[in-house]
Amino acid sequence: MNANDFRPGNRFLEYIVANHARTPEIDRAVAALPVASRLLWEKAVELIRESFLIWNAGVEDAGKQAMLTVSLFDFFLIEFFNEMKLLVGAHDAASLLTDAALFQGMGLEPQVPDEEALRKGTTSDFRGLPKYAAFASSHPHIKDKSAWLFSKEASVVLTGDADIGVMMMMMGAPVLLYRFYARGITRAVLYGEPRDHAKEQLLVDDMLERIAAHAERFMSGDH
């Protein structure tokens, strides 16, 4: 399969094509799927590769790095969904397009986590947006639910537990940067919007500064 080809067996994409009216908006969204999914996946790989050693106290761990990458791709799909909903105007079509993007990017289908996974933060084993919907339903008191769940996943992967210090570090600059990238990539593919390099650099610098400060506290035992 070439980088910009549709992945065979994508039943979500097949359903959209067969059952939704072929409006210009649907056609634009479908056409964007291969490139947007590939670019989002590549950005997730790049960002985790660049940050992993800082987060993991300088220790290589390919397994943890891979788990964080797929978790970040899932997190990216929230912004992808938001942009799809703005474009096509329907929640169900945007959901199908997002599930199609997950399959296009990873060859996997969305999975719904059980209560134990939601409680322990082991939802990094589950793909797609259903885990975010399930978490939102069971945690109505949390304001930024998607940031909280992603940060909890990252903490569990890195430390084996939902360490509040790691979670707070992730919920700051990293989450802002990740949302910025996911939204920017999706809109660039859909509409040809240029990247805001100045804002991007500010967010990157802020993220690296906060991660380095957290890593220093962790290494000194002050966490």
| Tens-digit pLDDT profile for residues 127-178 | 999 999 999 998 889 999 999 999 999 889 988 888 787 787 777 778 888 9
Distance CA 9, CA 100 (A): 10
Q: What pLDDT shows up at residue 194?
A: 87
Three-state DSSP at 28 gives helix
Distance CA 210, CA 175 (A): 12
Tokens at residue 125, please? Answer: 């084993």
210-215 average pLDDT score: 66
CA-to-CA separations, 1 to 34, 68, 97, 108, in angstroms, rounded: 11, 25, 20, 16
Among 86-100, 155-169, 183-197, which is the least confidently predicted range? 155-169
Q: Does pTM surpass 0.95?
A: no
What's 76-104 look like in SS3?
HHHHHHHHHHHHHCCHHHHHHHHHHHHHH
Residue the block writes with tokens 């072929």? 22
The C-alpha R_g of the chain, in whole angstroms, comes to: 18
Residue 218, pLDDT above cutoff 60: no
Among 53-57, 84-88, 121-125, 166-170, which is the least confidently predicted range? 53-57
Residue 102, pLDDT above cutoff 80: yes
What confidence tens digit (pLDDT) does each residue in 35-71 have? 999 999 999 999 898 877 666 666 688 899 999 999 9
Mean pLDDT of the chain: 87
Per-domain boundaries in the chain: 11-220
Ramachandran quadrant class, 161 (left: phi over 0; alpha: psi -120 to 50; beta: rest): beta
Q: What pLDDT shows up at residue 150?
A: 93
Distance CA 188, CA 180 (A): 12
Q: What angle do CA 63, 65, 69 make, to 5 degrees?
A: 120
Distance CA 35, CA 85 (A): 18
Q: What pLDDT shows up at residue 216?
A: 65
Distance CA 11, CA 100 (A): 8
Among 94-98, 143-147, 184-188, 204-208, which is the least confidently predicted range? 204-208
Instruction: Output DSSP code: residue 127.
Output: -
Distance CA 203, CA 213 (A): 15
